[in-house]
Structure 1
Amino acid sequence: MKIKIFLLLLTLSSTSLFAQQGNSSQKEDFSDDWAALSKYQKENDALKEPTKGKKRVVFLGSSIFEFWKQKDPEYFANNAYVDRGISGQISPQLLIRFRQDVINLNPRAVIILAGSNDLAGNKGHVSNETVLNNIKSMAELARKHHIKVILCKYLPIYEYPWNKNLQGVADGIISLNKEIAAYANANRFTVIDYWTPLVDERNGQKAEFTTDGVHPNLAGYKVMEKVTEIAIDKAIGKRR
């Protein structure tokens, strides 16, 4: 009898240990992290103060910004620029990330590039008003925390390679850009015009500046860097 009890306890103990080991090997579930706050959390925690004479600027957006650092890392490394782009994100996700990835980093300025992924869907739920409302919320948060706001005219796009059935893409970008610029001017925010230097005769991106008609290549990013520097100088002064 004692032997049977001993064997039963041993079996239960082994089963419990196996279950614990199995649980410890399970991958952490981030399905509740809709805005991908986890992506930059460790980088934010490790971020050091800018060196003397440099002024921190956060680039908040989606794939255009995320790929920028991949294509030209020196541009960010040589300045106190913090890239917080996440591919595929829409404006409400940027708004959710705004406190962690912008306000808590204490930048002098934030560059907000939003709207293209919102408009790229074909579900009919997104309008210029919804995109602009999210941009307004981010701009108001920045102003409240004494962060200079730099808004962007979005890059020209004739069509989305992953959604070629979507009609009127170029006109939609132009319309949104006009509303962003009007809001920025009314509130004395700086505007970066990424549209004008990259646009072709179809109101898409010039072939020499893009990889797929949506995302710039290195030459395209070099063009963007020139107009970005002008806007940063205007917003926070030439000493960065």
Structure 2
Amino acid sequence: MKLTFLGTGTSVGVPTIGCKCKVCTSTDKHDKRLRASVMIESGDTRIVIDCGPDFRAQMLGLEFRKIDAVLLTHIHYDHVGGLDDLRPFCLFGEINIYANKITAEGLKHTMPYCFDENKYPGVPKININVIRPHKSLHVGGLEIIPVEVMHDKMPILGYRIGDLLYITDMKTIDEGEFEYFHGVKTLVVNALRFAPEHHSHQTVADAIAFARKVGAERTFFTHMGHDIGLHKETNKILPDDIKLAFDGQNLEI
């Protein structure tokens, strides 16, 4: 199974418009971060987690072939704003979207034209499937277990796929969720910045503590803001088994 980081940035991306900090003006490609999303491929199966407003740009350089499922974490624009750009991939047939009830209902308000009884030609052919935490689903040969975390006061989804656990936008988590993390070897989790604390996102210290509790062999941070620092400099001060992910990075799971 291969994971590709399509984007590793926070809601405003990096560089941040109008900012002249050392990260936003860096010429290192590792410091350019589109909105957070990953693609997972196993054999002929292709899954995307979150489809934000940078989705079109993220897919332009990749092989054009069927997307078997889009797993959504939550309704915020930086995670669903690119769903309309699934249009070209509908050439291969209807695309299944998996989301919790809050997200599914939200999409029907934000993209009503996709769900009208009489759709106009060219709209994305998407099918929303409402899923619940801990109720596994199968896409191709992959078993996917949704887990629940809290984004401030909003319950959102993370995903356990084999040895991989993908979580973004988490602030807190119920202790009961950890029973679904046994055997996780690769953890991808959000780490917004070092400080100050944020009301709905983990800091680096929070994310390191969470990684230690999960006990994964390796951890990659995502959904990062410009104030997490330069990629090369920050990676030097993180524990050896914890690194900043970067856009375009590939992992074998």
TM over 0.5: no
Larger relative strand fraction: 2
Max radius of gyration: which structure? Answer: 1
Interval containing the TM-score (normalised by the shorter chain):
0.3 to 0.5
Which structure's relative contact order is higher, taking Cα pairs within 8 Å and 6+ residues apart? 2
Larger relative helix fraction: 1
- TM-score relative to the length of structure 1: 0.35
